[in-house]
Amino acid sequence: MTESNFALYFALSSLAVWRVAHLLARENGPLDLIVRLRAALGSSTLGRLMDCFYCLSFMLSLPPALWLSSGRMGFLILWLALSAVACLLERATQKKGKYIRVSPVSTSYIDKVIRGV
């Protein structure tokens, strides 16, 4: 992989990690699929993971770090760097003075969304 290709793949991987982490932690998703998933997971370990953008970005940056790396040390650095870029993008796109945190959704809310009650 050439240096210019590496830079492109790193940038695209960083954006992909940010986008998926943002979708899972901060959005309802298309047809409220993410809300339903979040409600189904509840307060389990995976449910709490979906509420933490920084945790998600750390875990989601693992596959692209493996793909881009050429050695053990490079893998560790890439893993942290991809997560860091996603965290910086999240901070840069937040509204000033407003931190949006998605709380676990109750099943009664999901029932209202699904049934339209």
- The predicted-structure confidence for 68-85, as pLDDT tens digits, reads as follows 998 888 999 999 999 999
In the block, which residue shows the tokens 């901060």?
Answer: 26
Q: What is the pLDDT of residues 29-59, one digit of tens each?
A: 899 999 899 889 988 888 888 889 999 999 9
Amino acid at 67: W
CA distance 12 to 97: 28
Give the count of domains, the chain. Answer: 1
Which residue in this structure is represented by tokens 């047809």? 31
100 and 26 Cβ atoms separated by less than 8 Å? yes
Is 100 within 8 Å of 91 (Cβ atoms)?
no
Domain residues for the domain of 88 are 3-115
